[in-house]
Amino acid sequence: MAVAPPSYCFVAFPPRTKDGLVVFGKNSARPREEVQEVVYFAAAAHDPGSKVECTYIAIDQVPKTHAIMLSRPAWLWGAEMGANEHGVCIANEAITTREPASETEALLGMDLVRLGLERGATAKEALDVIVSLLEEHGQGGNYYEDGSSSHAFQSAFLIVDRAEAWVLETVGKYWAAEKITEGVKCICNQLSLTTKIDVEHPELRSYAETQGWWTGDTEFNFSEVFSLAEDHLGCCSGQESLEKQEGNITVQTMMDVLRDKGSGVCVDSETFLTTASIVSVLPQNPSSPCIHYFTGTPDPSRSIFKPFIFVDDVKLVPKVQSPFLGDDDPVKKKPRFQERPDRRHELYKAHERTRSVTENDQDKGQKLMRIMLDLERQGLEAMEDILTSTEVLDPAEVVDLFYDCVDTEIKFFK
């Protein structure tokens, strides 16, 4: 059975957070050599009867899709994590359960992240989108760009907006979800839902009974029923660090947690690496903009978070987008993944070059990181000014915000 990568994602609500902000964060742990790109798609209208090509299958398109910003493994259609123009954020976790994941190609959990963002204007709407698509199309297929073996997983999601979050955990087409409106919540690569379930698949419990996993005589505990052995005992490093920050959780707090290798939240092992990270700030005041910070590069302890705000006519950032291979892409051909093309984008290459230099010269590396973190801090302060301003945000001020940050970062690496 495939081993699920130990990713972590978090959400924190007021009053644990400062200034009435909902703070969301996710580290994407993936195979070490995999490249993640950061891509923006504008809101769009679609012709009746049209289809959308997901990673492995095509499904019916909807009349309108929202503007989205994604951090995704460069070979697939969906995303590990992202946000939309309405302040909805979604992160995906690959999980293993008693029910073996299907290797038959269907929707990936990462496709469902993107579909939820494109079609849901609230966290609950996004949840409804995901579970209806799960019912209709199922989930399955290879989670990795690997032609030698298949790595299939079930999916868990953290779905967040300005008002609430939903933890959605799935087993095939069956699912359960818990609503979160306060405190701190972490999910990782294990089932976490227990007896507090707010919505569920109508046949969830009867399915568990037919499989002999639940007798109906005891209280229904989702993790105990569907987890493998003792795999439901919790793995959420980092939650304790956030909970200690009573009333003081900020964007910086979340970034610090995501950078923490000692706790295991920042993964750097022989097999897996934190290949990209995101932190989002969702003000509960709807007149303030949501701000999303993406790294676009591996290992947040050696990367900087760059801000993005949804406005019309956002300037696209080709320097964090991988080469587009079209129909020649090995993911599009069957048998799939017979070749491994170079998917590195310009920012990734600059980051990689610098890393090789700094690993050989520790002093130089530390000096460069101090400069980069100072650059990040300046960005955080500028975003703080936007959040605390009483004036309406002028879109022209931020239309090229992310573009400029990426450009500046690359110049520093040179």
Task: Give the residue numbers marked as catalytic.
Answer: 9
DSSP conformation class of 17: B
Which residue blocks in 56-142 are alpha helix, DSSP H? 109-119, 123-137
User: What backbone torsions phi and psi does residue 4 show, to the nearest 5 degrees?
Assistant: -75, 135
Strand-strand pairing, 174-180 and 165-171: antiparallel
Structure tokens at 342: 């170079």
Cα separation, 90 vs 72, whole angstroms:
12
- The sign one gets for the Cα dihedral 322, 326, 328, 333 is positive
Give the up-direction half-sphere exposure of residue 283: CA atoms within 13 A in the CB hemisphere.
Answer: 15
Instruction: Specify the DSSP element, H or E, that contains 308.
Output: strand 306-308
Strand partners, 184: 12
Could you give the C-alpha distances from 210 to 36, 100, 145, 193, in angstroms and in order? 41, 16, 35, 21
Q: Which tokens go with 188? A: 């990782």
The whole-angstrom separation of Cα 297 and Cα 79 is: 15
- Answer whether 297's CB lies under 8 Å from 276's CB: yes
Neighbours of 47 (CB within 10 A): 8
Length of the chain: 414
What single DSSP character describes residue 297?
S
Q: Position of tokens 């790595």?
A: 151
Question: Under DSSP, is residue 184 helix (H, G, I), strand (E, B) or coil?
Answer: strand
What letter represents residue 295's amino acid? T
Written as one string, the DSSP assignment of 363-388 is HHHHHHHHHHHHHHHHHHHHHHHHHH
Do residues 90 and 157 lie in contact, with contact meaning Cβ atoms separated by under 8 Å?
A: yes
